[in-house]
């Protein structure tokens, strides 16, 4: 695996219109990582990018996406007009130019992964801070620094399959338990009409979503990658506290909500709820009992009363604990049933673009060292995933690497299914049949275009 | 506690019939008798010389006639077919005799005769008519069952059994006589069915506290016969006797071995009626009535010696009966002149009124605690004329779903559990075959099917803001009862979600299988643009023809052909249709399809490939040659 942190040469955000005159170049740089880089070096980097972006605009109506030099790869992302986010990674190179590229390819972060990193960084920023253009110029530098520095530092980006295909893991659940959750949410929303439940997560798997698909992914990533790991750590450390917390508590803001002072610590987010037409600002309230986590939003314009939160606590606590224990029982049963199915050494990844559902075989999950996927293989999957349009609404590609890896990518109706098979002396038909078999056994009840 | 009050419901849940049957009041010259088997009042004026009037609820059986005064009458009753009148008189030191008069068209003929019981020195406690021409003399020596032969003016003894009893109680619907012996410690029921006398399991009571005649009633409730006994002051301290309980001891029927204890919480004089399978307990001093439902499941049970004991409390709080009016005057209610008869008669002998007691179902939902709504609905579902009330409650709950969501969910559970129980019973009956015994588990309960709920409650309320929550609650209840979601509900759910823009919830419900799989639902999803969900559902339903059609409709002929081939349907799809669509798409698509149609499928028994030779396909054969030629060059 490659250590990405070491590979990130720099990450910066600029907007040329912020300092249009000479001598104001530094004003154009909203954020620069690493921050120990001198002002001159910053100016140089940003200047180069500005020039490239501008230059390229004469050739294409679309924005410039990437630039590769002998030692560096630049990825550009323009989330809002004029705002450019740039990620630069170093690529190892040898002086012998002829062989360098072919050999080192596996070592470099895949461009699509880099692009995804930029996109999710922006989306996370937008979730908490709102779009760049709405932030006053005098605040934007400090806000960017406040947000992106810890973000980039904490980003444990590896060339893992879950980074190549960013999705949401849904918890499979029997109907009755699912209805329990939905009815609980309904009851809560009916009893407290100002509150809307936007997500229900069990462990790190999503059960209920009330957001537009894109925002859901961002919130899910925030929960699963940032908030919940910290929370779980706290719970493990405070073993004795755990029993007192059985009935649940608010975990965002971090110190729960006890006094009206705590209400000022509520986090504001910019979200597009599923039944809304435009992104609006809400307070985000997160409640957790046992392994179940619920996120609510409440409009920022609604005056908050500490009494409401106390009664909410008293309402959710017992309900959520009961539901969480029901789910844990169901999960235990389900785990037993699927253990056999997933424990085979088949390697597959499933992704549905419509609801961003992501599922992979046990042999590909994070628990097992992902070294089992070779960077080349990953890179091929990343390419297929990025270029899914070439498959159209349905299709199948089978690629064989020189070291006997067969990678099959299936696309059907917004769904993608990848299978990795290492098999010597296999032929195309055998692989196709095997893929079909895996697809049928793992993806029951789903219609794949027959090949 | 928040209260629920059904709109337009009345306060009184027990009422007397609007128009009482009037008769001459009891007086020194007029004697009034009541026959609870036929529900008829006999007013005998001057021993019958100045006339006997018979009135009952059924006006066609009313009559009046004269007869000779041969002594004070103790009991006078028609046979069930009104062809024989039997009279028991009080003759000192005479044989135990019953007189008979044959009747024709409710008028007496002059055929009169009499019969003396087999025990010459016995005292006749009374007589009952188990059948049209069978009469049973109940005496202190035992019971004698006789058949009456009116033409021959004589009676023939069928069967007799000896038992030393002091008084008896009679239950006409089940033909059971309960004789009290041993000074009210032993209660012995006898069944008089099938022209025979059968001794049933005796009821032994606490020897220290024998029962008296006015505290014992034999009644029919929920298709079983029960002996209702008032147990006064059951508490252990004699200084402060506890409230009275009604014990229902099983006599016969399918509810054997369960004793129901009804807690009245009151002391004093009581009377009971049975109305619509509810036991109504009237309490005189407080002028209230209580209703008990022994079919309720919430009763607390405990296993006692010899059987199970279930304790019940009144369904709703005690309330007085609806005040009855008589010619613009209020009748005195709970008067000391009232006599209560089984199952549902009340007579005021002084006023000369005969009423039937009835239940006002809607009043059961008048001012009840919010959390008792489900219980009340459960009680109503077991009643006869409660359909309208149940729907009214449902509508009121649905329209105020923001307040009553929890209760509504539980009400759905009650409805569905009744429905499911019935469906299971029906299925068992059908599998057992038509020859199986007729339904004896009581009448059909009130069934509210999924379609009923949609048409009568939900369809007219699609504008409600909480409709989605209501439908979800209903679906979850169906799911808890393992009932398949039927199309009306699924369709309503989809429409409610779509009109409110809640596509996410719709997808989640479908993906998790909460709406079930059905072809109409798949088509609805397809029309709404949820293509992935629709195709998945069709695939799960094995509707391969539909899938092929859909894919053809999307101008994806190659995929359509693939789907058809994998389902073994390729020979059924029109080759012309496929080729035309492929040609419109692109030359590679056409070539792929053309080849596919010529390649025999991999299946072991290949169905014949579609015919490409027909005239209609000629242009495509030609087009193929053209394309391949181009490629070659």
Going by pLDDT thresholds of 50, 70 and 90, the confidence category of residue B411 is: very high
B322: which DSSP letter? P
Contact of B166 with chain A, judged by CB distance below 8 Å, is answered with no
3-state secondary structure of B406: helix
Residue A42 main-chain phi, psi, to 5 deg:
-60, -50
Look at residues B2, B78, B86 and name the one whose alpha carbon lies nearest to residue B38.
Answer: B78
Cβ-Cβ contacts under 8 Å, B511 against chain A: 355
- Cα–Cα–Cα angle for B277, B285, B326, nearest 5°? 70
Domain co-membership, A311 together with A414: no
Domain co-membership, A273 together with A353: no
Going by pLDDT thresholds of 50, 70 and 90, the confidence category of residue B332 is: confident
Looking at residue B603, its pLDDT comes to: 47
Rounded Cα–Cα distance for residues A292 and A61 (Å): 47
The domain total for chain A is 3
Q: Which two tokens stand for residue B425?
A: 């019973």
Residue A122 C-alpha from the chain's centroid: 11
Residue B237 C-alpha from the chain's centroid: 41
Question: Domain range holding A25?
Answer: 4-159
The answer to whether B120 and B134 are in contact (CB under 8 A) is no
The answer to whether A327 and A292 are in contact (CB under 8 A) is yes
Look at residues A206, A167, A195 and name the one whose alpha carbon lies nearest to residue A292.
Answer: A206
Which of A67-81, A243-257, B144-158, B574-588 is the least confident region?
A: A243-257
Residue B168 has pLDDT above 70, yes or no: yes
Cβ-Cβ contacts under 8 Å, B540 against chain A: 445
In a domain, A413, yes or no: yes
More confident residue, B241 or B597: B597
Residues of A in CB contact (< 8 Å) with B are: 173, 175-176, 178-180, 182-183, 186-187, 189-190, 193, 208-211, 274-275, 352, 354-355, 393-394, 413-415, 445-447, 449-451
Which tens digit of pLDDT belongs to each residue from B593-619? 777 777 655 544 445 555 565 656 777
Nearest C-alpha of chain B: how many angstroms from A275?
6
The answer to whether A350 and A443 are in contact (CB under 8 A) is yes
Looking at residue A102, its pLDDT comes to: 42
Domain co-membership, A128 together with A247: no
B90: which DSSP letter? -
> Measuring CA to CA, how many Å separate B416 from each of B182, B244, B389?
49, 36, 17
For chain B, the C-alpha Rg in angstroms (whole number) is 36
In a domain, A388, yes or no: yes
Judged by CB atoms within 8 Å, which residues 548-567 of B form the interface with A?
A: 556, 559, 562-563, 565-566
In DSSP terms, which residues pair with B503 in a beta bridge? none
In a domain, A450, yes or no: no
3-state secondary structure of A252: strand
Domain co-membership, A382 together with A262: no
Beta carbons of B540 and A355 less than 8 Å apart? no
List CB contacts of A372: < 8 A, sequence separation 6 or more. Answer: A347, A363, A364
Which tens digit of pLDDT belongs to each residue from B457-484? 888 888 888 899 999 999 999 999 999 9
In a domain, A169, yes or no: no
Residue B274 main-chain phi, psi, to 5 deg:
-120, 120
Contact of B592 with chain A, judged by CB distance below 8 Å, is answered with no
Domain co-membership, A306 together with A356: no
Residue B436 has pLDDT above 50, yes or no: no
For the beta carbon of residue B409, count every other beta carbon within 10 angstroms.
23
In a domain, A117, yes or no: yes
Q: Which two tokens stand for residue B564?
A: 């058809």
* Average confidence (pLDDT) over B71-91: 86
Run of H or E including A316: helix A306-342
For the beta carbon of residue B36, count every other beta carbon within 10 angstroms.
16
The answer to whether A399 and A373 are in contact (CB under 8 A) is no
Looking at residue B609, its pLDDT comes to: 56
Cβ-Cβ contacts under 8 Å, A414 against chain B: 532
Of A284, A319, A338, the position where a domain reaches its end is: A338
Residue A163 main-chain phi, psi, to 5 deg:
-90, -25
Contact of B469 with chain A, judged by CB distance below 8 Å, is answered with yes
Nearest C-alpha of chain A: how many angstroms from B493?
14
Looking at residue B472, its pLDDT comes to: 92
Half-sphere exposure of A150 (CA within 13 A, CB side): 7
The answer to whether B315 and B368 are in contact (CB under 8 A) is no
Domain co-membership, A63 together with A182: no
* Average confidence (pLDDT) over B512-541: 89
- Chain pair A-B, CB pairs under 8 angstroms: 85
Q: Which two tokens stand for residue B2?
A: 């928040």
Domain co-membership, A331 together with A389: no
Give CATH for domain B3-362.
Answer: 2.130.10.10
- Range list of β-strands (E), B331-455: 338-341, 345-348, 353-359, 368-369
Looking at residue B604, its pLDDT comes to: 47
Pairing of strands B258-263, B307-312: parallel
Looking up tokens 């008869």, which residue turns up?
B341
Looking at residue A40, its pLDDT comes to: 86
The ranges assigned to domains in chain B are 3-362, 369-429+444-540, 544-632
Domain co-membership, A184 together with A332: yes
CATH no. for residue A328?
3.30.450
Beta carbons of A447 and B535 less than 8 Å apart? yes
Q: Closest-CA residue in chain B for A392?
A: B556
Half-sphere exposure of B515 (CA within 13 A, CB side): 29
Q: What is the mean pLDDT of each run of 10 residues along chain A (451 residues)?
A: 60 85 81 84 87 87 85 88 88 54 53 84 90 86 87 72 84 89 92 90 89 87 87 73 65 76 84 82 89 90 87 89 90 76 73 87 58 75 82 83 88 87 85 87 81 66
Looking at residue B305, its pLDDT comes to: 47
* Average confidence (pLDDT) over B130-137: 87
Judged by CB atoms within 8 Å, which residues 399-418 of B form the interface with A?
A: 401-402, 405-406, 409
Test the B interface: residue of A276, A354, A450, A451 with most B CBs within 10 Å: A450
Nearest C-alpha of chain A: how many angstroms from B476?
5
Rounded Cα–Cα distance for residues B416 and B424 (Å): 12
In a domain, A60, yes or no: yes
Nearest C-alpha of chain B: how many angstroms from A16?
40
- Range list of β-strands (E), A55-128: 66-68, 72-80, 83-90
Residue B200 main-chain phi, psi, to 5 deg:
-100, 175
Domain co-membership, A31 together with A100: yes
Whether the complex's predicted ipTM is more than 0.90 is answered with no
Contact of B501 with chain A, judged by CB distance below 8 Å, is answered with yes
A225: which DSSP letter? I
Across the interface, of B402, B500, B514, the residue whose CB is closest to A190 is B402
Test the B interface: residue of A170, A177, A182, A326 with most B CBs within 10 Å: A182
Beta carbons of A187 and B406 less than 8 Å apart? yes
For the beta carbon of residue B611, count every other beta carbon within 10 angstroms.
13
More confident residue, B523 or B181: B523
Looking at residue B556, its pLDDT comes to: 79
Looking at residue A104, its pLDDT comes to: 43
Looking at residue A107, its pLDDT comes to: 57
Q: Which two tokens stand for residue B390?
A: 């149940």
Angle between helices B544-553 and B575-585 (to 10 degrees): 30
Cβ-Cβ contacts under 8 Å, A446 against chain B: 536, 539
In DSSP terms, which residues pair with B354 in a beta bridge? B21, B347
Beta carbons of A182 and B502 less than 8 Å apart? no
> What length does chain A have?
451
Nearest C-alpha of chain A: how many angstroms from B481?
10
Domain co-membership, A254 together with A323: yes
Beta carbons of A274 and B501 less than 8 Å apart? yes
Q: Which two tokens stand for residue A130?
A: 């709102």
The DSSP result for B373-385, as a single string, is HHHHHHHHHTSSS
In a domain, A451, yes or no: no
Is omega for the bond preceding A34 within 30 degrees of 0, making it cis?
yes
Burial of A267 (0-12, 13-18, 19+ CB in 10 A): middle
- What percent of chain B clears pLDDT 70, i.e. is strictly above it? 91
In a domain, A277, yes or no: yes
Domain co-membership, A144 together with A209: no
Q: H helices within B287-400, ranges in order?
A: 373-381, 387-399
């Amino acid at each position: 695996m490659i250590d990405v942190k070491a590979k990130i040469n720099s990450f910066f955000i600029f907007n040329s219109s912020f300092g249009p005159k000479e001598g104001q170049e530094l004003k154009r740089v909203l954020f620069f990582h690493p921050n120990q880089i001198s002002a001159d070096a910053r100016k140089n980097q940003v200047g180069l990018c500005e020039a490239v972006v501008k230059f390229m605009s004469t050739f294409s109506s679309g924005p410039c996406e990437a630039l590769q030099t002998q030692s560096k790869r630049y990825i550009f992302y323009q989330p809002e007009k004029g705002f450019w986010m740039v990620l630069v990674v170093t690529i190892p190179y040898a002086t012998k130019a002829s062989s360098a590229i072919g050999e080192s390819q596996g070592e470099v972060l895949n461009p699509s992964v880099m692009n995804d990193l930029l996109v999710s960084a922006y989306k996370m920023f937008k979730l908490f801070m709102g779009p760049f253009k709405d932030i006053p110029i005098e605040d934007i530098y400090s806000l960017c620094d406040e947000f992106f520095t810890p973000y980039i530092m904490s980003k444990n980006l590896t060339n893992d399959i879950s980074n190549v295909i960013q999705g949401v893991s849904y918890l499979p659940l029997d109907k009755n338990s699912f209805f329990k959750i939905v009815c609980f949410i309904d009851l809560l929303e009916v009893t407290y009409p100002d509150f809307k439940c936007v997500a229900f997560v069990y462990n790190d798997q999503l059960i209920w979503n009330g957001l537009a698909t894109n925002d859901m992914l961002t919130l899910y990533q925030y929960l699963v990658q940032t908030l919940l790991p910290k929370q779980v750590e706290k719970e493990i450390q405070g073993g004795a506290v755990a029993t007192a917390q059985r009935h649940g508590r608010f975990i965002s803001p971090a110190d729960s909500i006890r006094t009206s002072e705590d209400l000022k610590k509520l986090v504001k987010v910019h979200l597009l709820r599923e039944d809304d037409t435009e992104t609006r600002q809400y307070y985000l309230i997160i409640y957790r009992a046992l392994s179940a986590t619920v996120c609510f939003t409440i409009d920022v314009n609604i005056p908050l009363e500490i009494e409401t939160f106390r009664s909410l606590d008293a309402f959710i606590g017992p309900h959520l604990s009961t539901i969480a224990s029901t789910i844990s029982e169901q999960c235990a049963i389900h785990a037993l049933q699927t253990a056999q199915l997933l424990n085979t050494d088949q390697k597959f990844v499933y992704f549905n673009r419509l609801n961003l559902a992501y599922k992979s075989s046990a042999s590909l999950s994070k628990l097992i060292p992902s070294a089992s996927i070779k960077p080349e293989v990953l890179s091929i999957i990343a390419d297929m995933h990025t270029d899914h349009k070439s498959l159209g609404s349905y299709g199948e590609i089978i690629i064989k690497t020189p070291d006997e890896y067969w990678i099959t990518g299936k696309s059907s109706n917004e769904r993608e299914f990848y299978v990795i098979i290492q098999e010597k002396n296999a032929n195309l038909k055998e692989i196709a049949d095997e893929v079909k078999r895996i697809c049928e056994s793992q993806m029951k009840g789903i219609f794949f275009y027959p090949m | 506690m928040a209260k629920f009050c059904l709109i337009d419901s009345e306060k009184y849940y027990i009422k007397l019939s609007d128009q009482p049957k009037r008769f001459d009041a009891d007086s020194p010259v007029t004697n009034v008798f009541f026959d609870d088997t036929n529900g008829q009042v006999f007013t005998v004026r001057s021993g019958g010389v100045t006339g006997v009037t018979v009135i009952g609820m059924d006006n066609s059986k009313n009559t009046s006639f004269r007869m000779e005064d041969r002594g004070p009458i103790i009991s006078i009753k028609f046979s069930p077919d009104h062809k024989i009148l039997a009279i028991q008189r009080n003759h000192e030191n005479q044989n135990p005799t019953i007189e008979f008069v044959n009747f024709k068209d409710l008028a007496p003929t002059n055929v009169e005769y009499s019969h003396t019981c087999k025990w010459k020195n016995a005292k006749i406690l009374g007589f009952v008519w188990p059948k049209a021409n069978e009469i049973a003399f109940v005496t202190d020596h035992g019971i004698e069952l006789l058949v009456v032969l009116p033409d021959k003016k004589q009676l023939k003894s069928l069967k007799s059994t000896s038992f030393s009893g002091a008084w008896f109680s009679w239950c006409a619907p089940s033909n059971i006589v309960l004789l009290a012996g041993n000074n009210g410690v032993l209660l012995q029921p006898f069944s008089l069915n099938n022209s025979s006398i059968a001794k049933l399991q005796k009821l032994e009571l606490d020897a220290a506290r024998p029962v008296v005649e006015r505290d014992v009633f034999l009644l029919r409730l929920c298709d079983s016969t029960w002996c209702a006994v008032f147990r006064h002051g059951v508490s252990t301290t004699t200084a402060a006797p506890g409230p009275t309980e009604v014990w229902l001891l099983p006599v016969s029927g399918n509810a054997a071995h369960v004793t129901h204890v009804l807690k009245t919480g009151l002391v004093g004089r009581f009377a009971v009626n049975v109305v619509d399978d509810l036991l109504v307990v009237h309490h005189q001093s407080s002028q209230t009535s209580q209703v008990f439902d022994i079919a309720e499941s919430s009763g607390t049970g405990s296993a006692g010696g010899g059987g199970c004991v279930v304790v019940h409390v009144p369904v709703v709080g005690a309330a007085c009966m609806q005040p009855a009016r008589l010619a613009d005057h209020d009748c005195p209610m709970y008067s000391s002149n009232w006599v209560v008869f089984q199952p549902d008669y009340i007579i005021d002998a002084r006023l000369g009124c005969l009423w039937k007691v009835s239940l006002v179902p809607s009043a059961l939902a008048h001012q009840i605690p919010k959390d008792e709504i489900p219980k009340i609905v459960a009680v109503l579902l077991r009643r006869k004329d409660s359909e309208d009330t149940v729907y009214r409650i449902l509508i009121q709950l649905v329209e105020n779903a923001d307040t009553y969501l929890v209760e509504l969910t539980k009400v759905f559970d009650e409805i569905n559990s009744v429905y499911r129980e019935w469906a299971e019973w029906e299925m068992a009956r059908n599998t057992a075959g038509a020859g199986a015994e007729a339904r004896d588990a009581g009448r059909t309960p009130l069934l509210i099917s999924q379609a009923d709920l949609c048409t009568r409650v939900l369809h007219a309320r699609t504008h409600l803001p909480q409709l989605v929550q209501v439908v979800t609650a209903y679906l979850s209840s169906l799911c808890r009862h393992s009932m398949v979601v039927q199309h009306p509900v699924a369709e309503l759910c989809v429409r409610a979600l779509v009109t409110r823009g809640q596509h996410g919830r719709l997808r989640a419900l479908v993906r998790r299988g909460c709406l079930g799989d059905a072809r109409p639902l798949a088509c609805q999803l397809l029309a709404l643009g949820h293509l992935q969900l629709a195709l998945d559902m069709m695939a799960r339903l094995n509707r391969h023809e539909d899938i092929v059609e859909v894919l053809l409709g999307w101008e994806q002929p190659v995929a359509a052909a693939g789907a058809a081939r994998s389902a073994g349907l390729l020979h059924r799809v029109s080759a012309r249709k496929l080729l035309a669509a492929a040609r419109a798409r692109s030359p590679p698509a056409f070539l792929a399809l053309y080849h596919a149609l010529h390649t025999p499928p991999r299946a072991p028994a290949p169905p014949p490939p579609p015919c490409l030779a027909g005239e209609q396909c000629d242009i495509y054969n030609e087009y193929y040659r053209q394309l391949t030629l181009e490629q070659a060059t």
